[in-house]
Amino acid sequence: MELKLEKPIIFFDLETTGINIAKDRIVEISILKVSPDGTEETKTWLVNPEMEIPKEASDIHGITNEKVVTEKTFNELAPEVSKIIEGCDLAGFNSNRFDIPLLAEEMLRAEVEFNMIDRVAVDVQVIFHKKEERTLSAGYKFYCDKNLDNAHSAEADTKATYEILKAQLDKYEDLENNIEFLNKFSTHNRRADFAGFIQYDEDDNEIFTFGKYKGQQVKEILKKDKGYFSWIQNADFPLYTKQVLKEIREKVFPPKTESTLADLQSKFNQKL
């Protein structure tokens, strides 16, 4: 079954130096862009992470320091990647918990804007786990009756993920061929940030999911404990979490515009 799309969707996979969202770096990225008319475009890059690739990571994906030493850094690739994914929904395998958060960190680190406004995400692994509880290789065999011979190659994993999603739509009648539906079905909970430090409650209020203010509304904490915002901004939290918190804070305490400052100055002068 082919996907019914209203706008392009990006299937992508990352190979990295490790699994720490805030600290690890991309060593390979593969993108498969599928347009509403069914046309497909694939781009794959090896990436110089500007840090040592641990042996345990190289043992998994086969990418060594020697292979990437002359490749472009993500800072150099970020504008091109941003242009390709602009206006697109996103999809991957375990992408909600890993690939999208790590991509966001790399984008923000390169000072390239990244957010999920006007786009949704489909995590094929979540659909798989809700239906069958397996790994990517097993899923490829189960749904497509093919062996994933080149597992942990970003391009092979990306293409396999795309094929699995189409096979899932064929297999499960209750899965709607609609990206909005697949986004909701493949999401375990409603996160305001990728890492899950800030989530939405039943009334669409952002709440903290950790620490001494766990379960409390972010906007109320920002009002009563202004130092908490500064602590998070200076602590080892993901850049995207910090960005989301800044956006919430701006809603609670809107930045003073030039006209507002002029009015205040005028009132002050009148008192004098």
Where do the domains of the chain lie, and which CATH numbers do they carry? 9-185 (3.30.420.10), 192-272 (no CATH)
Residue 190: what pLDDT? 82
List of the chain residues with pLDDT < 50: none
Mean pLDDT across the chain, nearest whole number? 91
- Name the E strands within the chain: 9-16, 26-34, 40-46, 89-92, 121-123, 198-200, 206-208
Residue 260: what pLDDT? 57
Residue 149: what pLDDT? 84
**In angstroms, what CA-CA distances link 65 with 4, 22, 60, 156, 268?**
41, 20, 14, 21, 62
Residue 131: what pLDDT? 85
Residue 259: what pLDDT? 54
236: helix, coil or strand?
coil
Residue 233: what pLDDT? 94
Q: Which residues, 6+ apart, have CB-to-CB distance to 197 below 8 Å?
A: 208, 209, 210, 237, 238, 241
* pTM of this structure: 0.70
Residue 258: what pLDDT? 53
Residue 267: what pLDDT? 62
